[in-house]
Structure 1
């Protein structure tokens, strides 16, 4: 008697059958061709590495998502990558360090301990680009352009791009002089977009330290909120610079991609410890989660010996094929 359990796959892992596999491979080829035509150099990092290298620096945020096991040859702990960006940062820092600017791309599998969404996949075919060595918004614009054109190659055109800038939140936290514990509570409230909880937290502190954050949580919508932010937020240099950068990127998207809707959420603190500047997420109607996302993560290569500007985006090719 055949044991059907022998045919079961782990939850969040799937087999891709001929028709969809062909679609996936054809899309992968088109995307790689597009990346390389844009002069991004293709890299292929290893699927596993020593954990202390894989989770170095910014990669530590991925610790709980990384599968780990003992290497029988070295008796050191190995990890299967849950994201490719830290590996690409190491390539930039170690192997391509003679270049002032590196523009790299990839399409490879990552494995995560938990899916990003309920019922989602743990094995992801990740594609993306990274630009190292460019500090101005030209790199942010180029990455956003590559992201939108990747979605277009997958026949995903009804796109809304949501923009944020973590420097605004960081400047307000520094200016308010709240404790680390208070900041953690504040960040949780902002992640939940709970104005009542924010008002309660403000009262608990016994002073108006959080008034600026009460303003911040309301600053979401179209490009006009940048004018409100300029008028209503504290006049801090970091905030003024962040608003200026967002305004520049919004103007670029509207000019280059007039059919793309632009949304701003200045209280978006998701990934606050990872991102260092502008962050961007792409959404489509009927789906509550992103279809692609990225942003600036300057200094990601510091632990590899090369701290410098960096920005990029990533998407899951399997998701793109299913949504097309």
Structure 2
């Protein structure tokens, strides 16, 4: 039975919602950005690994929270019946890899990666299912040195791309997350939800006394890193000396980066996952962070290989947006030459140019209109006709 041809309008919905194709120019830019980022990571001693695109659900579920678990895209392995998932995050894969392949490694272990993660869209804010990342994981290296190294490597990677006007936002899981986790179970999640959207009325209706004062003091600690010294005495009195010390050490180390550093102790991102300092890198005009990460000392223990750990991931799509807004997204592809003519006439010319390192395409003789369209579509910078045709 013959299959009827598909018209152009019928092709439009063939790509699943939330996915996109990268055509040659965009793909070349993505590859160039990823190469620059991974090269910067290499300068800090990070070795690149390539984990698989999917894993057993039981492996990934150990390393992600409930919200991410609900976003997993699952499918059944028809060969053995296992439930598999497309990876929603690279870090659980690195944890599995370290627990199995690096079990005897004395540490520190420094690994980098680049690839796509896939999640179901959550709400209207995120339309893309497939996110491209490049990141690092630093395992078995103590804070604050490891925290500072990971942030510095992330900033150096972004600087290498030409991005300079960056803001580093620091927070710590020992601040508000720890306080909310100690609240009575009945109000814990409602308070967390209210704080996440800064709904003062709701959390004030749920809390009172010392608990309310504690939460509001931490939410108020948001501003330039230079303000940390002024908050220090009050935070220490509330039992957050470790938070102050960790943040102060990293702030001092980041002074050399030239980036603006802010602190927000009312941040709940990664609650239940991060165990210490965590951060985001922001840029004006970009709707999402360029990068983020933090300390996750409990994760490796879930895979039977407890070690301290911290890491970061750079959102390559957000980086491309920042580069475009700043006029830094130049096409990295080499200039291309089109050699037009008979196979016999164009062969030697094409071979000679390729031997010189030029990018060369060949084409049979065509009419001028078709040739003009081809040149415009492919972006050829030079057209040669060795046989004069």
Superposition TM-score, scaled by structure 2 size: 0.76
Q: Kindly tell me: are residues 119 and 52 of structure 1, through their superposed partners in 2, closer, same or farther at Cα, counting changes over 3 Å?
A: closer
- C-alpha contact 2:37 2:158 (8 A) present in aligned 1: no
Aligned to 1:223: 225
Q: Aligned partners of 1:119, 1:59: CA distance in 2, in Å?
A: 18
Which of 24, 41, 47 is 1:18 aligned to? 24
Shift of 1:182: 1.4
What is the CA-CA distance between 1:116 and the residue it aligns to?
Answer: 8.5
Which of the residues 185, 188, 192 maps onto 2:190?
A: 185
* Distance change >3 Å, CA 94–CA 277, structure 1 → 2: same
2: CA distance, partners of 1:231 / 1:2: 69
SS in 2 for 1:55: helix
Deviation at 1:10, TM superposition (A): 2.3
- Indicate conservation of the 8 Å contact 2:286/2:321, yes or no: no
Compared CA separation, residues 234 and 185, structure 1 to 2 (3 A): farther
Superposition pairs for residues 282-321 of structure 1, below 5 Å? 282-321=281-320
Structure 1 counterpart of 2:343: none
Residue 233 of structure 1: SS of its match in structure 2?
Answer: helix
Q: Do 1:293 and 1:315's aligned partners in 2 also have CA atoms closer than 8 Å?
A: yes
For 2:204 and 2:66, the matched residues in 1 are separated by 33
Q: Which of 1 and 2 has greater Rg? A: 2
1:131: how far off? 0.4
Measure the CA separation in 2 of the matches of 1:201 and 1:227: 31
Equivalent pair of 1:164/1:266 in contact (CA under 8 Å): yes
Contact 1:130 1:313 in 2 (8 A): yes
Equivalent in 125, 138, 147 of residue 118 of structure 1: 125
Aligned pair in 2 of structure 1 residues 117, 292: CA closer, same or farther (>3 Å)? farther
- Tell which has more relative contact order, 1 or 2 (C-alpha 8 A, sep 6+): 1
* 1:36 Cα offset (Å): 2.0
Return the alpha-carbon distance in structure 2 between the equivalents of residues 317 and 163 of structure 1.
Answer: 21
Verify: 1:257 aligned to 2:257, yes or no: yes
State the Cα distance separating 1:148 from its structure 2 match. Answer: 0.8
Give the Cα–Cα distance (whole angstroms) in 1 for the partners of residues 123 and 96 of structure 2.
25
1:216 aligned counterpart, secondary structure? helix
Offset of residue 225 of structure 1 = 3.3
Measured against aligned partners, the alpha-carbon deviations of 1:170-217 in whole angstroms (never above 9, x if no partner) come to 55347xx531221212211221123333333335xxx44321111111
Separation in 2 of the partners of 1:119 and 1:183?
26
User: Per the alignment, in what secondary structure is the counterpart of residue 44 of structure 1?
Assistant: coil
CA contact (8 A) 1:126 1:315 kept: yes
C-alpha spacing 1:170/1:191, structure 2 compared with 1 (3 Å): closer
* Alignment match of 1:198 (pick from 188, 195, 203): 203
Q: For the aligned residues, what is the CA RMSD?
A: 2.0
Q: Decide which of 170, 173, 183 is 1:163's aligned counterpart.
A: 170
> Which among 75, 85, 105 is matched to residue 81 of structure 2?
75
Which residue of structure 1 lines up, in the alignment, with residue 365 of structure 2? none
Deviates more, 1:227-236 or 1:86-95: 227-236
Q: C-alpha separation between the residues in 2 aligned to 1:280 and 1:231?
A: 23
Q: Say whether residues 1:212 and 2:214 are aligned partners.
A: yes
Measured in 1, the distance between the counterparts of 2:227 and 2:109 equals: 34
Aligned to 2:11: 6
For residue 97 of structure 2, what is the aligned residue in structure 1? 91
Cα distance change of structure 1 residues 234 and 323 upon mapping to structure 2, 3 Å threshold: closer
Unpaired segments ≥5 residues, structure 2: 1-5, 324-389
Alpha-carbon distance, 1:81 to partner:
0.4
Aligned residue pairs total 316
Q: Deviations over 1:49-80 (max 9, x none)?
A: 11111221446552122110111001111110
- 1:244 equivalent in structure 2: 245
Q: Distance in 2 between matches of 1:225 and 1:189?
A: 25
> Contact 1:212/1:234 (CA < 8 Å) preserved in 2?
no
Q: Alpha-carbon deviation of 1:293?
A: 0.5
SS state at 1:321 partner: helix
1:138 to 2:137 alignment: no
Quick check: 1:40–1:129 contact (8 Å CA) kept in 2?
yes
The 10-residue stretch of structure 1 (3-12 or 244-253) with the greater mean CA deviation from structure 2: 3-12
